[in-house]
A and B are shown apart, each in its own frame.
Chain A
Amino acid sequence: MAVESNLKIELGKQGVFVTTLNELYNWGRRNSVWPMQFGLACCAIEMIATTMARYDLARFGAEVFRPSPRQADLMIISGTVTKKMAPQVVRLYNQMAEPRYVIAMGACAISGGPFKQGYNVLKGIDRYIPVDVHIPGCPPRPEALIHAFMTLQKKIAAQPLTGEERPRHLDASAQGEFPVPEPGAHDLEPPVNRLVWPLPAPTVAAPAKEGA
């Protein structure tokens, strides 16, 4: 599978270009990631600024913002996800076709950010859907979004097409639909999808159980 990189360069000098199917495939994929036109809050304005003339996301092959989830590869969660909005975000994610990626942009999308203590604020979108790249910041600068984008491109480029690490769209057994939370009387039901977001081990000594 692998051609030694030195040999590749040597061959290149002779006018012979060798590559692998894996590389070619990922090269194509990573250079035309189409994000979904989907803004949630303040961070969305920085996302728009990123696509504008000054920062010009088009240089990375991602200027085509698609209004429909069916045509998009990348969902940029740009802003606060509220509990009222969370079911719709999961539903939109479910509607996207594989391969699909998620960038959580800004403190709010990661953890609830400044609004974490709010009763209607979801404490991080990774409670319901898997996230590929997190960008901290409130709001992250356009450069940070571009950096996240390049990180995602690196991630795509490194994905092997076979084996355990293969992307989800080549894995027939991968989970496709993620359960959509329902609005409940006091909170979302369930408040977290344990399959995506397992609770970390407790750090405080748990009270001793009696007769359990």
Chain B
Amino acid sequence: MKSAAELLDELQGAMPGVKLALATNPSPSAQHSLVVAAEDALRVAVYLRDVAGYDYCSNATGVDWLDKETTEKVKTTRRVKKEVDGVEQEVDETVEETVKRVEPGCLEAVYHLYSMRQGPHDPHPPLVLRMRTANRTDRVELPSLSPVWRAAEFQEREIFDLYGIVFKGHRDLRRLLMWDEFEDHPMRRDYVDPDDFEYEPTPHDEVLKRAEEHRAKLAAEGAR
């Protein structure tokens, strides 16, 4: 089978203008992935299945990338007026400033593809296909790849349930694991559990913290 980089060239040759990028994986597994833009995903997927031979979608899953806040210390020099020895002068002054930069997060759908048609062959890493949503809150739509690989049908429902990615074109997009009335997406990294603290005979550390919070909540309820 071709490597991800070779496939990237092949796809760009076959579909000019397709928005694709290679994401390298620094770990020893060296399973590199193709990042495909949402609008091109369906035709790329069809090409991969029908032409490139990736007829088997092994795994489909979601990943939540939080907004990343990076702080950097930057040294800036500016001219300031200062009184030096009683005389007002302009002096160069260097100050350290912390600059906050927010990298917007996203939700990601990851597909691991193999080829069954090729029959027994040398071990090859899976082809990893990734799609990213525009943000984590309101623009969370991606095209469903379940029309291409039926294997993604339940797995996309699971992603919808646990991560909240809305797959357009899925034939039956409902929650898979949680009940229908449930409103949260519990696999997101900022999900907060319901407060169902339970009595512990010897609370400590985190449990103690939760116990105290819980008690404060009960007290507040009682006072009402």
Contact = CB atoms under 8 A, between A and B. Distances in A.
Direct contact of A and B (CB under 8 A): yes
Interface of A: 83-84, 111, 117, 119-120, 123-124, 183-187, 191-192, 199-200, 202-204, 206-207, 209, 212
Given A119-B191, A119-B194, A120-B186, A200 B199 contact: yes
Q: Chain A's interface: helix, strand, loop or mixed, by majority?
A: loop
Given A186-B183, A204-B212, A123 B219 contact: no
Nearest to A206: B215
A117 B186 CA distance: 13
Contacts of A83: 179
Contact of A185 (B181, B191, B215): B181
A84 B179 contact: yes
B206 to A, nearest CB: 10
Contact of B196 (A191, A207, A212): A191
22 contacts: A84-B178, A84-B179, A117-B193, A119-B186, A119-B191, A120-B178, A123-B196, A123-B198, A183-B180, A183-B182, A184-B181, A185-B182, A186-B194, A192-B196, A200-B199, A203-B202, A203-B211, A204-B203, A204-B208, A204-B212, A204-B215, A207-B219
Contacts, number: 58
A168 B17 CA distance: 75
A185 B203 CA distance: 29
Given A123-B196, A191-B196, A209-B223, A183 B181 contact: yes
The bracket for how many chain B residues form the interface is 20 to 34
Interface in B173-206: 177-184, 186, 191, 193-194, 196, 198-203
A212 B223 contact: yes
Interface of B: 177-184, 186, 191, 193-194, 196, 198-203, 208, 211-212, 215-216, 219, 222-223
Interface of B is mostly: loop
A204 B201 CA distance: 10
A199 B219 CA distance: 14
A149 B208 CA distance: 36
Contacts of A212: 222-223
Given A84-B178, A119-B193, A204-B211, 13 more contacts: A83-B179, A111-B198, A119-B194, A120-B177, A185-B181, A185-B182, A186-B184, A192-B196, A200-B199, A203-B211, A204-B208, A206-B219, A207-B216
